[in-house]
Amino acid sequence: MNYQEIYETYQDLKETLILKKDAIMKKNLEEINKTDEHCIVLCEKIAKFDIKNNQNNFTQEQKENLKNLGSEIKVIQENNEILIKHSLDVINGILSGILNIAQSDKCSYNSKGETKKDEESLNISSITEEA
């Protein structure tokens, strides 16, 4: 593998992760799925690179460029992970609210599905004493 091919693959990964960030922010699940699939392809390609043996052939500038690009990719990926975690927290909060509402409504019905009568409202002290 030559330097240009490695650099272009890493650059493509960076651009794909930026697209993924935009898709996460727009809540575009279809685009997120596409970017994930493309990231998998790129990561499989990167795994085949034998950079350790080729690093001796790279100039110091090329090594610095790859290192900087790798750092940028890492930051973008960390930001994407934070966005995804925040999205999951929001979804969990919404689902918890829905489940709490459903649970409280469930308590209003008996085993036959009939609305429970509020016995306390019928047990008013003045009515009980007069009866």
pLDDT digit string, tens, across residues 16-61: 999 999 999 998 999 999 999 999 999 999 888 876 665 567 888 9
Res. 120 pLDDT band, cuts 50 70 90:
very low
Q: Is residue 96 part of a domain?
A: no
Q: Is residue 67 part of a domain?
A: yes
Q: Is residue 124 part of a domain?
A: no
pTM of the model: 0.70
Cα–Cα distances in angstroms (integers) from residue 41 to residues 8, 36, 79, in the given order = 14, 9, 21
- How far apart, in whole angstroms, are the C-alpha atoms of residue 69 and residue 75? 10
| pLDDT greater at residue 65 or residue 112 | 65
Q: Is residue 99 part of a domain?
A: no
Q: Is residue 55 part of a domain?
A: yes
Angle between helices 60-106 and 3-26 (to 10 degrees): 20
Q: Is residue 113 part of a domain?
A: no
Q: Name the residue range of residue 27's domain.
A: 1-88
Q: Is residue 34 part of a domain?
A: yes
* pLDDT for 99: 81
Q: Is residue 118 part of a domain?
A: no
Give the total number of structural domains in the chain.
1
pLDDT digit string, tens, across residues 59-103: 889 889 999 999 999 999 999 999 999 989 988 988 888 887 767
* Cβ atoms within 10 Å of 41's Cβ, excluding its own: 12
State the SS3 of the chain.
CCHHHHHHHHHHHHHHHHHHHHHHHHCCHHHHHHHHHHHHHHHHHHHCCCHHHHHHHCCHHHHHHHHHHHHHHHHHHHHHHHHHHHHHHHHHHHHHHHHHHHHHHHCCECCCCCECCCHHHHCCHHHHHHC
* pLDDT for 129: 55
